[in-house]
Amino acid sequence: MEEERAVNPIAQIHCLSIIGEIEGHHVLPEDVKSTKYEQILPLLTAIEEAPETRGLLILLNTVGGDVEAGLAIAELIAGMRKPTVSLVLGGGHSIGVPLAAAAKRSLIAPSAAMTIHPVRVNGVVIGAPQTYQYMSRLQERIIGFVTAHAHIKREDYLQLMNRTDELANDVGSVIHGEDAVRLGLIDAVGNLADALGWLHEQIWNEN
């Protein structure tokens, strides 16, 4: 009967917000809104192991941060068995792109945008060949992850990353909601109800 499909009142979905900068091995100032990756990693593990948690909703509004830490979070999300859906709100800057793509279903709010640019560091970089090789390999890891989990071709992602006519005094692209879907970065434009509806559908189908 249709009544049997009503949402179980017992908590089934965990909501995880990843906002501000992703804090890695270096501690950010107290006045900077940040998400500490060493707190997120064990939390994701607990969510995956908790029998009462049937799905994961990830709310994303990032402004960059530690690329290695962000990629570590994305790798754990991508490796979860439970249904996962990401929802990009406001902005998904830099590492926010692989974080969004890591979920089994990705949504972007109509007013949201995603910023794509090459991997970079703040401050002075020692001009040693090893430094540039490391940055190049790190960028390849990001590109490989995004193209493996989203529906965008490598050459298209590289073109977005290296555009010089989109950002003032910078290299890269700002991709808005519907364009992110058209390019294959995100599965669909949607809102909170859409994200929760997809999760409940997946949970129901597993029963």
Residue 64 pLDDT greater than 60, yes or no: yes
pTM of the model: 0.86
HEC string of 11-51? CCEEEEEEEEEEECCCCCCCCCCEEEHHHHHHHHHHHHHCC
Q: Which of 34, 86, 94, 106 is catalytic?
A: 94
As a whole number of angstroms, the distance between CA 6 and CA 8 comes to 6
Q: What is the pLDDT of residue 190?
A: 97
SS3 204: helix
CA 179 vs. chain centroid, Å, equals 17
Domain ranges of the chain: 2-206
Active site residue 117: yes
Active site residue 14: no
50: number of CA atoms within 13 Å, CB side?
A: 15
Q: What is the pLDDT of residue 4?
A: 46
As a whole number of angstroms, the distance between CA 76 and CA 153 comes to 23
Instruction: Give the right CATH number for 2-206 from 2.160.10.10, 3.90.226.10, 3.30.70.20, 3.40.50.300.
Output: 3.90.226.10
Q: What is the dihedral of CA 166, 167, 168, 169, to 10 degrees?
A: -120
110-164 confidence digits (pLDDT tens): 999 999 988 765 544 555 555 557 677 888 899 999 999 999 999 999 999 888 7
Q: Which of 117, 149, 173, 200 is catalytic?
A: 117
